[in-house]
A and B are shown apart, each in its own frame.
Chain A
Amino acid sequence: MSPVLSPARLGRWAPPLALAAIWIAMTALNPRFLSAVNLTNLMLQIVAVGAIAVAVVLVLLIGEIDLSVGAVSGFGAAVVAVLSVKAGWPAGLAILAGLATGACVGLVHAAMVTRVGVPSFVVTLAGLLTWQGALLLVLGDTGTVNVNDTSLVAIAGTFLAPELGWALAAAFGGAAVAVVAVQARHGMATLRRSWPWLVGSAGAVIAVVVFNADRGVPLAVVLFLVLLGIGDLVMRRTRLGRHAVAIGSDASAARRAGIAVDRIRMAVFSLASVLAVTGGILAASRLLAVNQSSGGTDVMLTAIAAAVIGGTSLFGGRGSVWSALLGALVVGSLANGLDLLGASPAIRLIVTGLVLGIAVGLDTWARRSR
């Protein structure tokens, strides 16, 4: 039994505790923070950065970094917007083209890292500049492209009918019951294994109550959660995911064990850029536009901060896709709450910086004492 305050345990519990502390503090300062309207707004505000944070989590897991996620999200979204608005492509095709652009971008980064041997920090720093330039180029002289395709607008603008929200929650609850039942049949239904399903089901019910009190369950939030679920499955249950974690823990040991290190890196970098573009499309659908500041530097910084605050290690091999949700919630709740309080941009940056500093400190401490 580890001591109550072991670094590892603190590292695991710090993000949810921080989130709870922020929510309690913000509610105490302005009770409207916990209103259904604001919580719905909060969730819509975090999905884009959350999706980009998933990209960061994947790259951090293999022990690399991607500084270009923000720029790539803006570039990919600009490709989608321009193809849809200026070239008149159907939304589905435009989105596919945007995601394919992301995959190519990621492959270029990975090739530089694996074939040429340039550190990912430098490759993606160069990428940040390049793709920001590509964004300006694609947008052209007008600088802003308004998204008006109904399907693109619907991604972030659709709220499910109350019954449909309940149906989704019921479906998730049913799946949870089934999983726990299977675990029980194999004698594996310990609290340690089953709690995510129980907590998830309870969370789904509370979320549907809150969302239905406002405009309904936002489609963008459902998409984000599905993305997280798939990401979690891939990282924990597939060879790609387990090999990625092995590489992040110790690349040379992984290579000696016969893992195709470079192939996994290729896959993770392109997956990350595709996820970044997904985040960019979510952001464009919410703002109904792509402009020159889309995917700016603060998007990248916020996404990396979210991944690390959520508990993914900067040192590779440790973390989970869910930390993107947790971290995005922490960073998003801070920004949302401080906006409600009318805090200046200065205060917002300082507070977020302090929280990030504490998170990285905990991460470093946990790593040293392993």
Chain B
Amino acid sequence: MSRARTAAAALAIAVGMLGTACGDGPDAERRIALLLPESKTARYESHDRPAFVGRVAELCAECETLASNAGQSASRQQAQAEAAITNGAAVLVLDPVDSTSAAVIVRHAAEAGVPVITYDRLVLDAPVTFHITFDNERVGAMQAQALLDEIGDSDGVLVVLNGSPTDDNAAQFRRGANTVLAAADVEIGVEADIPDWSPDQAQEAMERALTTLGRDRIAGVYAANDGIAAGAIAAMKAAGLDPLPPVTGQDAELAAVRRVLVGEQHMTVYKAVRTQARVAAELAVGLVRDEEIPAGVRTTWVDNGYDRIPALLLEPLLVTRETIAGTVVGDGFWSVEEVCDGLEPECATVGLAAGETP
């Protein structure tokens, strides 16, 4: 009997809540959803999310950011997008787990009248409102040009280690690099795609290149990112190359910046992730307030198979030994302590000293 009464009470509470659910909800503020793809790469939770949330809070007191992370699961991201729309998000800022299958998220949002800004990675075949990323072809071109400048008129050959064959961004880096390399009079001895951007695979590929080309003919190594550069450098050190030929990189990982400092790696590319997040936040707030992207933001159009999407491509920055202070350290991406720990003499020669962190 008492159980029946308890059940009746529970039902009454539930029905009462059903009643309130039909109302307007407790808060009618404006909501912006940030959907990040995974948490294993440190940048999303440590750089993108705080910069985005902070900028939204600065610009718009009545706005709230609903941030979620899909942990590399496309179906989880789909559920999180649905939750964001249910929660009344007025705009989605989406960094898709999978450029292809995320189309279902964008279409669902469009049906609900919610615009989608794609962030870092484009979503293909879907009505995307705006796209913000770095100019990936420019990254590839910068790497190739820096390599050519360093090599000069050496008569050796190049080793080209591209990124993952399944990554659309990797294809863009390669396109940019190929344009520059093809225009120059330089011979490519070995070219390989590195599955999953894996440093181990890069090391093996470099070992094979050393075997086929011979260790003395290599004038330089185009490595698509810092992980691949790490593998290539390890292979060349193990083979006893001294001095090392110039090696490129990308991402400004701490280990790579320190390699650039001691001269093992020629350059890396810094993509100001925090700037990207802040600009995305500004666009999202603009969409929430005025229902449009401010004029003049678009720098180009990209074709995603559905339509031409207005896009903002941010400029990557070249990091060499001389420009460490002005780029990654000046921007607060890495502190002087992190870069210089144990390398104080090298730091002194390029004007980096402890206590100068902005």
Contact A296 B20 (CB under 8 A): no
Contact B75 A4 (CB under 8 A): no
Q: Please, which residues of chain B bring their CB within 8 A of the CB of A30?
A: 87
Q: Does B277 contact A (CB under 8 A)?
A: no
Instruction: Determine how close the nearest CB of chain A comes to the CB of B296; give it in whole angstroms.
Output: 33
Q: Does A312 contact B (CB under 8 A)?
A: no
Contact B14 A23 (CB under 8 A): yes
Q: B75, B78, B103: which has the most chain A beta carbons within 10 Å? A: B75
Q: Does A38 contact B (CB under 8 A)?
A: yes
Q: Does A340 contact B (CB under 8 A)?
A: yes
Instruction: Determine how close the nearest CB of chain A comes to the CB of B310; give it in whole angstroms.
Output: 24
Contact B23 A286 (CB under 8 A): no
Q: Does A274 contact B (CB under 8 A)?
A: no
Which one, B61-69, B131-139, B281-289, is touching chain A?
A: B61-69
Q: Does A258 contact B (CB under 8 A)?
A: no
CA distance A141 to B78 in the complex (A): 24
- Measured CB to CB, the nearest residue on chain A to B3 is A4
A-contact bits for B94-105, CB 8 A (1 contact / 0 none): 000110110110
A-contact bits for B8-41, CB 8 A (1 contact / 0 none): 0010011001101111011000000000000100
CA distance A23 to B86 in the complex (A): 16
Contact A144 B101 (CB under 8 A): yes
Given known contacts A24-B17, A298-B73, is B100 in contact with A291 (CB within 8 Å)? yes
Contact B17 A34 (CB under 8 A): yes
CA distance A345 to B67 in the complex (A): 11
Could you say which of B14, B18, B66, B78 contacts A342, with CB atoms under 8 Å apart?
B66
Q: Does B332 contact A (CB under 8 A)?
A: no
Contact A293 B72 (CB under 8 A): yes
Instruction: Determine how close the nearest CB of chain B comes to the CB of A182; give it in whole angstroms.
Output: 28
Q: Does A158 contact B (CB under 8 A)?
A: no
Instruction: Determine how close the nearest CB of chain B comes to the CB of A32; give it in whole angstroms.
Output: 5
Instruction: Determine how close the nearest CB of chain A comes to the CB of B273; give it in whole angstroms.
Output: 20
- Measured CB to CB, the nearest residue on chain B to A146 is B100
Could you say which of A4, A24, A31, A298 contacts B20, with CB atoms under 8 Å apart?
A31
Contact A293 B74 (CB under 8 A): yes
Contact B17 A31 (CB under 8 A): yes
Contact B101 A289 (CB under 8 A): yes
Contact B26 A289 (CB under 8 A): no
Given known contacts A20-B10, A289-B101, is B25 in contact with A31 (CB within 8 Å)? yes
Question: What number of residue pairs across chains A and B have CB atoms under 8 A from each other?
Answer: 101
Q: Please, which residues of chain A bring their CB within 8 A of the CB of B3?
A: 4
- Measured CB to CB, the nearest residue on chain A to B26 is A31
Q: B3, B18, B79, B88: which has the most chain A beta carbons within 10 Å? A: B79
Contact A287 B73 (CB under 8 A): no
A-contact bits for B323-343, CB 8 A (1 contact / 0 none): 000000000000000000000
CA distance A33 to B71 in the complex (A): 23
A-contact bits for B74-97, CB 8 A (1 contact / 0 none): 110011101100111000000001
- Measured CB to CB, the nearest residue on chain B to A153 is B104
Q: Does B351 contact A (CB under 8 A)?
A: no
CA distance A38 to B81 in the complex (A): 12
Q: Does A62 contact B (CB under 8 A)?
A: no
Q: Does A336 contact B (CB under 8 A)?
A: yes
Contact A28 B17 (CB under 8 A): yes
B-contact bits for A332-344, CB 8 A (1 contact / 0 none): 0001100110101
CB neighbors of A among B112-159 (8 A): 125
Q: Does B294 contact A (CB under 8 A)?
A: no
Q: Does A143 contact B (CB under 8 A)?
A: yes
Could you say which of B71, B80, B87, B98 contacts A32, with CB atoms under 8 Å apart?
B87
Q: Does A283 contact B (CB under 8 A)?
A: yes
CA distance A296 to B17 in the complex (A): 36
- Measured CB to CB, the nearest residue on chain A to B88 is A32
CA distance A289 to B83 in the complex (A): 20
Which B residues fall within an 8 A CB radius of A? Answer: 3, 10, 13-14, 17-18, 20-23, 25-26, 39, 66-69, 71-75, 78-80, 82-83, 86-88, 97-98, 100-101, 103-104, 125, 165-166
Q: List 9 A-B contacts (CB under 8 A).
A: A23-B14, A24-B13, A30-B87, A31-B20, A45-B82, A286-B104, A287-B101, A291-B101, A293-B98
The 8 A-B pairs at the shortest CB distance, nearest first, are namely A289-B101, A339-B83, A34-B21, A144-B100, A31-B21, A27-B17, A288-B104, A38-B86
Sample of 18 further A-B pairs with CB below 8 A, known A34-B18, A146-B100, A287-B101: A23-B14, A31-B23, A31-B26, A38-B83, A38-B86, A45-B82, A141-B166, A143-B166, A286-B75, A289-B74, A291-B101, A293-B98, A335-B79, A339-B68, A339-B79, A339-B82, A340-B87, A342-B67
